[in-house]
Amino acid sequence: MIAIVDYGRGNLGSVQKALVRLGMDAVVTQDPAVVRSARALVLPGDGAFNDAMRSLERLGLLGPIREALEAERPFLGICLGYQLLFSESEEFGPGKGLNLIPGLVRRFPKELRLKVPHMGWNRVLHTGDLAIFDGIPSGAYFYFVHSYYPEPLDGTLRVATCQYGVTFSAAIGKGNLFGTQFHPEKSQLWGLKLLENFVRVVMSQENRP
């Protein structure tokens, strides 16, 4: 079972429908016990970084999420759920994240005079070494809605990139931990393929002796 963590933010219904369509038992939950027992987690999200961390703490979900990550259960962070994996964010002042991936979440530079939020379809480039991009061509289009982007400090991490004034990490992989700045559940063909690849990672873990 995949637990879709509900902390009051995110496109929960769309993510659940996509995973169910792919044949997975996927539940939307705020119950720490369900999160602890799940084989895999999805952390979606829209909204503000600090508010999201406070909501996770208030609901008693920070501990179960950290336990899942430490146990290397398959994990997918989407949009804000991806940003929360990093050390901190400069959104509305410094705020601490889950610190699973050392790095900072930054706002798009004002001097570039970009339209912010970055909203709509954009190309994502990858080198084929991220399991969730298996069968997805480099340069495929995904749907973005965000004003901030993560900047990982570890140059050895597997990343996919996007260009919007700056080149930023549009997706990341670290063992069974994955994150996407774009919304796969809104990205039609290639988004569904990416979720299918995540389901394949989950199933491969379940089938281990």
Q: What is the pLDDT of residue 206?
A: 66
Distance CA 182, CA 189 (A): 14
Q: What is the pLDDT of residue 122?
A: 98
CATH number assigned to the domain comprising residue 83 = 3.40.50.880
- Which residue numbers in the chain have pLDDT < 50? 209
* Chain centre to alpha carbon of residue 181: 6
pLDDT digits (tens, 9 = 90+) for 19-58: 999 999 999 999 999 999 999 999 998 888 999 999 999 9
Q: Which of 173, 165, 125, 161 is nearest to 147 (CA)?
A: 165
Q: One of 91, 118, 146, 185 is an active-site residue; which one? A: 185
Tell me how crowded residue 179 is: count the other CB atoms within 10 A of its CB: 28
Q: Decide: helix, strand or coil at residue 20.
A: helix
Q: What is the pLDDT of residue 148?
A: 95
Global pTM reads 0.94
Is 196 assigned a catalytic role? no
Q: One of 79, 91, 118, 162 is an active-site residue; which one? A: 79
Instruction: Find residue 43's DSSP bridge partners.
Output: 77
Q: What is the pLDDT of residue 143?
A: 98
Q: Decide: helix, strand or coil at residue 50.
A: helix
Angle between helix axes 12-21 and 188-206 (nearest 10 degrees) is 70
Is 162 assigned a catalytic role? no
Q: What is the pLDDT of residue 12?
A: 85
DSSP 8-state symbol, 108? P
Q: What is the pLDDT of residue 207?
A: 59
Write out the residue range of the structural domain in which residue 82 sits.
Answer: 2-206
Split into its structural domains, the chain has a count of 1
Is 79 assigned a catalytic role? yes
